[in-house]
Chains A and B, each alone.
Chain A
Amino acid sequence: MLSVEHISKSFFRKQALDDVSLEAKKGEIFGLLGPNGAGKTTLIRIINRIVEPDNGTVRINDALMTRKHLENIGYMPEERGLYKSMTVEDHAVFLGRLRGLSKHDVTAKLNYWLDKFEIGDWKKKRIEELSKGMAQKVQFICTVLHEPELLILDEPYSGFDPINMELIKSELIRMRNQGKTVVLSTHNMKSVEEVCDRVALIHHSKKLLEGRVADIQEERKEGLYAIRFRGNMIAFANALWAGFEVVDTENPSDNLFIVRVKMRGENTFDDLLKVLIGQVKIEAAWEVLPTMQDIFISIVQPKLTEAV
């Protein structure tokens, strides 16, 4: 769907992007990760033709991107604004018409979205009368009003309350299921794990990582397993023999423990379970995968340290 090839961009003497390539496929949610100043927003602006790249190309469905493609893109920037004196309806009509919709189409689609978000009463309200959360919903509606095939959201959750965040997440997943492509730039690693199919990590203007979320976690796992059990911690420790190593322990309540264990030698998860069954009452056991937060920090932190 979206293919970014060898994009470089510098502002005066500062390199914002250095030979960045990535691909967001049709029907997937693609996460663009990176610390502040990494170049994410610049890349997004280049995709939206707001900024011209020094080198490289952007392709949409294998064709070189033109301004015509913008009609099929929905873009919600990180720092997004609305005209305060306009009504919700006027605002939607204005932005919808800029994206190629007729006034009639905008009105119909706006009604659909307002009903969906249960905010039909706001239609004639001026933006300045809305709370921040309300305005953010309106911003999202204006972004998706023209039913774009490609949705680009820069920090879509910033400023959203948890309820609105869930609402947006579920909408993104629904759009993905409809075959639309969503590119989102975010610092919210939990949401990356929840909604993103694939991610790319940009740091210091370079792409350091790209792939499926599950694959990346799989690649970076450390052979850790967690056991949640009821019983005696001493009995648990005695049951383990030299083939396992307790990494850390949590004791959320009396007799309830969550212990993370690392295998030694050729031992497997099956071996671990075998030695524990009968010694403690196992409630759950799972393989511990690194969170995206951990992966993000593990990649970015050393670089930051180097920079210092």
Chain B
Amino acid sequence: MKNSWIIALREVKERIGSRSYVLFAIFGPLIILGLVYLLFVFGGTEAEKWNILVTDKAGILENKLMPHPDPNVTYSFANDYIEHDDFAKGKRYQQYDAMVEINEKVLSNKLSYVFYRTKPSFNLQAKVQYQVERRLEEVMIQRFTDLSVQKFREIKQPIQFSFRNVYDPYDQTSDVRTWVGFFFGMIILAFIALFGMTILRSVTSEKSNRIVEVLLASVRPQHLLFGKLTGVGISAFIQFFIWIAFIGLGLYLMREWMFPSIYDVSSMNMAELTDSGRILSVQEKLYAGKEFNTIVDLVYERVNFGVMLTFFVLFFIGGYLFYGSFFAAIGSTAGTENDGQQFILPVLLILALAAYAGYYTVANPESELAGWLHYIPFTSPVVVMVKLTYGYAAGEAYQIWLSLIVLLLSAFFCLSIASRLYKNGVLQFGHRLKLQHLFKWLRK
């Protein structure tokens, strides 16, 4: 086993020293972070920055709308009446994207026009409406009642009907979250495909440059194979941890610097803050602080990264060993590199099917097929990740362990077959690989 370790260390050193590995370690997380950033920016919050002119001739709003500036909307006030035609053409108004007209009778006629230059998104329309409405509400409370704003809103609060799944009363699972599981599963498959191909290339290149014969004079074929799988696996893990560190750091920095308003109480609507305990109406949900960005909420709040990462690692190891044995077996038995690539296609196809199995499980989590896919070693790494996000009932936790055991047993079975093929095939050169070769080498 000492020699396996030496082989593994060489593999690690070679992989880590390669330019493609370093580029992948740097750009992989950056691409993921870029996608997350885009989701943060476009996934719930407004991309637009709107400059709005509020015309309030009567000074009803007292030139204020929000206690703190909104990151997306800037309000300016004009205590005058401006014709919409002037607003459209007047040079001095070109800096404004929209004009909110607060007529003098707004408190009674409850009518306000918003003139825009380009149509805002639904969310931005809702946000502007919400902010103006809230401000007018405050004015009306002050003018027409003796109640405090807080008390008024307590009274005004409608009864909220919340429909919940009796088996998941706290709505711990959601469609959005299952996509995180799917994403984790896809990362497993991507790493398996990527590092599986690394195993294939490593084996075939050792065959083609004939160093394998020198190695076999010192190392048992099984130990050589094990060392190679271990080495490539370790380099995959190092890559993975680099990703985790980069992405974790990136998410932290995004939260602290790029999107501080997400959790910065000062940027929230004050009224919302005072009523933080209450259930929001549907309209309010569109822009209230806590529902401001479902993606942000998902990433920072709703994913149990501890559990996900633990099982990610376990199923990655199982999946990697399981699929890795196929890559190694094909690499060692192929006569030429072209042969190897041809025979690797079915394995890549199976990986694609595994990805589809994950998608299927997202869509049909309770189906019988998803139940089977959960235990089939070809698909279990991704399906289990999806199911994890749905959660396992208290009595069903054994299922995840059972799936893991099936996967690991299958991996060891495939490894024993792969090492047999490796032993007999790795010194065969230049032949055209046929299935009968595999059967012959398996029998030997």
Contact = CB atoms under 8 A, between A and B. Distances in A.
B283 interface: no
Contacts of B3: 98
A112 interface: no
Interface stretch (B190-198, B216-224, B274-282, B318-326): B216-224
A277 interface: no
Nearest to A152: B217
Given A48-B217, A50-B216, A98 B6 contact: yes
A196 B236 CA distance: 50
A70 B215 CA distance: 11
A79 B215 contact: no
A67 B3 CA distance: 12
Interface stretch (B70-78, B206-214, B288-296, B336-344): B206-214
A174 interface: no
A80 B210 contact: yes
Nearest to A98: B218
Nearest to B6: A97
Nearest to B17: A85
Interface string B260-284: 0000000000000000000000000
B168 interface: no
Given A50-B427, A84-B209, A94-B10, A77 B18 contact: no
Nearest to A77: B213
B14 A85 contact: yes
Contacts of A79: 210, 213
Contacts of A142: 214
A81 interface: yes
Given A67-B220, A70-B217, A81 B427 contact: no
A170 B216 CA distance: 28
A98 B212 CA distance: 13
A81 B214 contact: yes
Interface string A45-79: 10011110000000000000001001001011101
Contacts, number: 61
Contacts of B218: 70, 95, 98-99
Given A45-B427, A67-B220, A95-B214, A82 B209 contact: yes
B156 interface: no
A83 interface: yes
Nearest to B426: A50
Contacts of B92: none
B244 to A, nearest CB: 27
B440 interface: yes
A84 B219 CA distance: 20
A241 interface: no
Nearest to A139: B214
B427 A80 contact: no
A258 to B, nearest CB: 44
Interface residues of B, number: 24
Interface residues of A, number: 27
A37 to B, nearest CB: 14
A45 B217 CA distance: 8
A95 to B, nearest CB: 7
A113 B14 CA distance: 25
B217 A73 contact: yes
Given A12-B440, A75-B217, A99-B218, A51 B427 contact: yes
A80 B213 contact: yes
A251 to B, nearest CB: 48
A45 B18 CA distance: 33
Interface in B1-43: 3, 6-7, 10, 13-14, 17-18
Contact of A77 (B6, B14, B210): B210
A95 B216 CA distance: 11
Contacts of A95: 214, 218
A82 B216 contact: no
A79 B207 CA distance: 10
Nearest to B429: A79
A86 interface: yes
A213 B10 CA distance: 43
B2 to A, nearest CB: 9
B63 to A, nearest CB: 69
B286 to A, nearest CB: 56
Interface string A81-114: 1111110001000110111000000000000000
Contacts of B13: 90
A300 B210 CA distance: 29
B216 A83 contact: no
A75 B10 CA distance: 20
Q: Which of A49, A70, A97, A99 has the most CB of B within 10 A?
A: A97
A81 B209 contact: yes
A203 to B, nearest CB: 22
B6 A86 contact: no
Interface in B121-137: none
A90 B14 CA distance: 11
Interface of A: 12, 45, 48-51, 67, 70, 73, 75-77, 79-86, 90, 94-95, 97-99, 142
Given A50-B427, A51-B427, A97-B6, 13 more contacts: A45-B427, A70-B217, A75-B214, A77-B214, A80-B214, A81-B206, A81-B210, A82-B209, A82-B211, A83-B211, A85-B14, A98-B6, A98-B7
8 contacts: A48-B217, A51-B427, A77-B217, A81-B206, A81-B210, A82-B211, A85-B14, A98-B7
Interface of B: 3, 6-7, 10, 13-14, 17-18, 206, 208-220, 427, 440
| The 10 residue pairs across chains A and B that have the minimum distance between CB atoms | A81-B209, A81-B211, A79-B210, A98-B218, A81-B210, A75-B217, A77-B213, A48-B217, A50-B216, A97-B6
